[in-house]
Amino acid sequence: MSPERFARINALLDRRQADLTLCLESVHKNHNLSALIRTADAVGVHEMHAVWFDRRGKVKGGTAKGSQQWVKMHHHTSTAAAVSQLKAEGKQVLVTHLSDSAVDFREVDYRLPTAILLGQEKQGVSAEALALADQHIVVPMVGMAESLNVSVAAAVILYEAQRQRAAAGRSATAQLPAEERHRVLFEGGHPIFAKICRLKNLPYPALDANGQIDADETWWHAVRSK
């Protein structure tokens, strides 16, 4: 790993927001999934959640521009399971939906640990998601269109969250656990060795102050062996 790449990944990790996430309820169109991941990465979201009712979507590299390598995805088989995990992590769960109790998305305090739940492209969010959410939010519309594309809506809301957090000094505060930070540094800086470790069930070795692998001969022998 070059010194420039090591510095860039560290700078990225310093700005990662461990307590801000998206939860996608059966969003399955590839261009939307890719755009959502790309936006999440740009804002500093470190992990996302996806609920699949029937078939799991697949992210291709085109629209995502490689962002899927930097945003960790958690998969769930039900909305209840996903929301339960998010609330157990202390996150407020917001769902985009026009209802009598909905508030303008800019009125929410995104400095709090937050999960934004977005629904499937055609049907929107499920009744279960609406019931489980802590708050319904809306993006005001003044034109003929009744709603935004799911990836556009997510971008609008995420950048409001980023604005609030930056104003509060949150965006420059490192939040990731040391173990997770090391995982991203190793996989991002040494992808070939990371693949070998996964194939051979080897632990990721330590990195020195310059981002180079600092492993003993036993580890190197295991890596080189067939």
Tokens representing 142 are 């003044």
d(CA 222, CA 226): 8
d(CA 6, CA 60): 26
- Closest residue by Cα to residue 6 from 182, 176, 216, 173: 182
Q: Is 96 annotated as a binding residue?
A: yes
- One DSSP character per residue, 50-86 reads EE-SSS-----HHHHTTGGGTSEEEEES-HHHHHHHH
Are the C-beta atoms of residues 38 and 12 closer than 8 Å to each other? no
Backbone angles phi, psi at 188, to 5 degrees: -80, -30
Q: Is 139 annotated as a binding residue?
A: yes
Are the C-beta atoms of residues 94 and 116 closer than 8 Å to each other? yes
Binding positions: 96, 139, 148
Binding positions for S-adenosyl-L-methionine: 96, 139, 148
